[in-house]
Structure 1
Amino acid sequence: MIIIYHNPRCSKSREGVKVLEASGKDFKVREYLKDPLSEDELTSLLQKLNMSPIELVRTEEKIWKEEYRDRDLSDKELIRVMVENPKLIQRPVVEKEGAAIVGRPSSNIERLLS
């Protein structure tokens, strides 16, 4: 099953949904701001992305700059911060059969689907 972790207010995320729709493949949309990931789910997703937690953080978000930027956080703490503040997670993320990518640019999604 293909899953897109989606924020409908984000143009890049909406573009990702369009790429999936155009592919003709079945997929599920998870609006992660309404249905946040658990620590275990985010840890698993990071493994599939082959990324460290800090690589998935949107470091330009106001909450990051004001509350976390100058702190020395462990990977576990970063995961907890993203679970508590899902707005900090890069978007969109697309997951398929044990692999995942950040869909920026949207051509990343096309590569994952092929």
Structure 2
Amino acid sequence: MSQIRILHNPRCSKSRQTLQLLQDKGLDVEVVEYLKTPLSTDELALLQQKLALNDIRAMMRTKEDIYKELELGAPQRSESELRAAIATHPILLERPVVITETAARIGRPPESVLELF
């Protein structure tokens, strides 16, 4: 099987549940603590493609205080501005995200990532 990565926050119950689900399936998973190792804007663009999202906000935690403070919900915000905000403030990235070579899924609910396999 190809490489599988999970963008993981160990403090998040959904992230822990998703990781456990993958491990229970016997999958070899690379765990990336994205708060410690944020994605670059280029990596975020690729992730958006793999998630097949037209709107980058669908991969953002829009209820985070920083989202409101930076007024990221404003319609004039460009995709590149939003990617830069996530790269600078990785807490804005929805979690967990499971990534394969060809696709990705947000683990909400955790079982949704099983569509990848």
Q: TM-score range by the shorter chain?
A: over 0.9
- Give the one of 94, 105, 112 matched to 1:108: 112
Are residues 109 and 70 of structure 1, via their aligned partners in 2, closer, same or farther at CA, if it must alter by over 3 Å?
A: closer
> Does 1:85 pair with 2:105?
no
> Does 1:99 pair with 2:103?
yes
1:48-63 equivalent positions in 2, closer than 5 A: 48-51=50-53, 52-63=55-66
Displacement of 1:6 in angstroms is: 0.4
| TM-score normalised by the chain length of structure 1 | 0.94
| TM-score normalised by the chain length of structure 2 | 0.91
One-letter identity of the residue aligned with 2:67? W
> What is the number of residues matched between the two proteins?
113
8 Å Cα contact 2:5-2:100 kept in structure 1: yes
> Does 1:23 pair with 2:25?
yes
Are residues 78 and 45 of structure 1, via their aligned partners in 2, closer, same or farther at CA, if it must alter by over 3 Å?
A: same
CA RMSD of aligned residues (A): 1.1
- Give the one of 59, 66, 77 matched to 1:73: 77
Identity among equivalent positions (%) equals 45
- The aligned residue for residue 67 of structure 2 is 64
- Structure 1 stretch 64-73 or stretch 3-12: which is displaced more? 64-73
- Using the alignment, how far apart are the partners of 2:19 and 2:115 within structure 1? 15
- Using the alignment, how far apart are the partners of 2:15 and 2:9 within structure 1? 6
- Using the alignment, how far apart are the partners of 1:83 and 1:39 within structure 2? 6
- The aligned residue for residue 38 of structure 1 is 40
Are residues 42 and 21 of structure 1, via their aligned partners in 2, closer, same or farther at CA, if it must alter by over 3 Å?
A: same
Displacement of 1:69 in angstroms is: 4.0
